[in-house]
Amino acid sequence: MKPISGTCHRFPADVIRQTVWLYFRLMLSFRNIEDHMAERGINVCYETVGWWTREFGRMFADNLRKSRAAPNSHWHPDEMVVQIGKKRMFLWRALDDEGEVLDMLVQKTAEQAGGAEIA
């Protein structure tokens, strides 16, 4: 991963790296990250965190994706009933042995998934 240049930013590269990592790895909101950093004595606005994720997010997301283990050849289907817009829908997921989602499909009825290919 190419390094973040600290010359054009008010905060050190380590602070930027930590906030963007928190957003993509732990899926925290910008305001939660703002609170988290404030607890550590770093006063950063949630709007700045949002700008950093847009600016540097692609690098971090690619790096996290590369560091994940490759899915193995054993997988199983998983069915779940969800409500989307007050409509009952069926969520089909293909999961590997580690619980990573390989693919997903949302349908109105359970019968439709019988002929659909999930993975």
pLDDT, position 5: 54
What is the identity of the amino acid at 6? Answer: G
pLDDT, position 37: 92
Residues 6+ apart with CB under 8 A from 22: 28, 33, 36
What is the identity of the amino acid at 69? Answer: A
> Which alpha helices (DSSP H) does 3-94 contain, by range?
13-26, 30-39, 46-67
pLDDT (tens digit per residue) in 58-101: 887 777 777 777 777 788 888 889 898 889 999 898 888 877 78
pTM for the whole structure = 0.51
Mapped onto helix, strand or coil, the DSSP state of residue 114 is: helix
pLDDT (tens digit per residue) in 24-59: 878 889 999 999 999 999 999 999 999 988 988 888
